[in-house]
Amino acid sequence: MLTRLLILWLLSERPLHGYKIKRALDEPGLRFWFPIEYAAIYSLLRTLVKEELVVVAGSE
């Protein structure tokens, strides 16, 4: 739940994709507290889109 809130906060600051979210969470101060893998980030992003909490701005 905490990771979900953190990702929503990051997305409220500016549009990000999974790679940029992972890079933000890899900052030295956050890495210890939020050890999350890419797969979990993308899974959570899909869930947030399904719940209509975020929208997809674009895709390749």
The whole-angstrom separation of Cα 25 and Cα 37 is 10
Cβ(5)–Cβ(47) under 8 Å?
no
- What pLDDT digit, counting tens, does each position of 2-14 carry? 889 989 999 999 9
The whole-angstrom separation of Cα 42 and Cα 22 is 10
- What pLDDT digit, counting tens, does each position of 26-42 carry? 888 888 888 888 899 99
The whole-angstrom separation of Cα 25 and Cα 41 is 10
In whole numbers, what is the pLDDT of the chain averaged over residues? 88
Does position 1 have pLDDT exceeding 90, yes or no? no
pLDDT at 57: 82
pLDDT at 29: 81
**pTM of the full structure:** 0.82
Q: Calculate helix-pair angle for 18-25, 38-50, nearest 10 degrees.
A: 120
